């Protein structure tokens, strides 16, 4: 018997705490300042001498795409920061909360062999990431994943939450009439080549038809959740806040 789930709650009905949807910053000027400082250093390297303060003329001389003034430079810095921090907040705070909520509140029947196989593969992948950082798994879990307590237990718990989300995603995909046949795969490849400029050969090598069937429902639901909650993540001015980088 395959793992299954009944009566999936819509992610829109999950009450994500406000603090997980809020990013505190000291000020928008503080957000923009690192890019201004970087541009000043670029200009100093270009003329081979120090400058006291960046001017509009200096910014224009750098020939940055779409940027001719300090204000435009600051606006660009704020937009990039907002986009990057929104993504980080979603994947570090919002999505883990949703995965845990689904795991704790869904009527899921788990096939133990499927579950155990997924957990084993998950832990193997995390170990590979730790090796890339030249860290023991324990250190990687604490420093990079910000886990506490028994790291192996925490990782196994995360793996099971991921597996349950995968089961849910396949059910949602099926309920929405999603297709996983070869024609749908070819449409996926064509869309990424035409709209995203992906290299077709490389994409097919990296994302085979079997991988498409396995991963597409989860990717689709994750993207829907991101589009919904990323619009609800807000930035709040707190002069005492540290600027996240």
Distance, CA of 33 to CA of 219 (rounded, Å)? 35
Local confidence band at 6 (pLDDT 50, 70, 90 cut-offs): confident
DSSP element (H, E) containing 235: strand 234-237
- How high is the mean pLDDT of the chain? 95
What mean pLDDT do residues 34-40 have?
96
Every domain of the chain and the residues it spans: 4-237
Tell which wins on pLDDT, 93 or 6: 93
Judged against a pLDDT cut of 90, whether residue 73 lies above it is answered with: yes
What mean pLDDT do residues 8-35 have?
97
Q: What is the pLDDT of residue 146?
A: 86
Contact 77, 31 (CB under 8 A): yes
Q: What is the pLDDT of residue 96?
A: 94
Structure tokens at 40: 């000043």
Tell me the per-residue pLDDT of 218-242, one tens digit each, with 9 for 90 and over. 999 999 999 999 999 999 999 999 9
Judged against a pLDDT cut of 90, whether residue 210 lies above it is answered with: yes
Q: What is the pLDDT of residue 7?
A: 82
Instruction: Note the pTM of the prediction, 2 decimals.
Output: 0.88
Q: CA separation (Å) from 157 to 82, 130, 218?
A: 31, 18, 18
What mean pLDDT do residues 184-191 have?
95
Tell me the per-residue pLDDT of 127-156, one tens digit each, with 9 for 90 and over. 999 999 999 999 999 999 889 999 999 999
Judged against a pLDDT cut of 80, whether residue 1 lies above it is answered with: no
Distance, CA of 25 to CA of 23 (rounded, Å)? 7
Pairing of strands 4-6, 107-109: antiparallel
Query: Half-sphere exposure (CA, 13 Å, Cβ side) for 115?
Result: 16
Burial of 61 (0-12, 13-18, 19+ CB in 10 A): middle
């Amino acid at each position: 018997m395959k793992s299954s789930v009944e009566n999936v709650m819509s992610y829109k009905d999950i009450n994500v705490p406000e603090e997980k949807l809020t990013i505190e910053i000291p000020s928008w000027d503080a957000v923009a300042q690192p890019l201004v400082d970087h541009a000043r250093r670029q200009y100093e390297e270009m003329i081979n001498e120090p400058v006291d303060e960046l001017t509009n003329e200096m910014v224009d001389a750098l020939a940055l795409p779409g940027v001719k003034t300090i204000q435009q430079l600051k606006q660009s810095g704020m937009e990039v920061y907002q986009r990057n921090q929104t993504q980080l907040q979603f994947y570090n705070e919002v999505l883990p909360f949703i995965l845990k909520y689904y795991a704790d509140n869904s009527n899921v029947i788990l096939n133990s062999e499927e579950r155990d196989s997924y957990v084993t593969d998950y832990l193997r992948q995390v170990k590979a990431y730790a090796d890339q950082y030249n860290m023991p798994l324990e250190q990687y879990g604490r420093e990079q994943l910000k886990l506490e307590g028994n790291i192996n237990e925490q990782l196994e718990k995360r793996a099971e939450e991921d597996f349950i989300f995968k089961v849910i995603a396949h059910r949602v995909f099926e309920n929405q009439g999603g297709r996983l046949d070869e024609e749908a795969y070819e449409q996926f490849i064509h869309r990424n080549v035409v709209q995203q400029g992906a290299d077709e050969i490389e994409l097919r090598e990296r994302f085979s038809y079997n991988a498409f069937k396995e991963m597409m429902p989860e990717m689709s639901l994750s993207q829907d959740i991101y589009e919904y909650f990323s619009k609800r993540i807000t930035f709040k001015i707190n002069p005492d806040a540290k600027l996240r980088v």
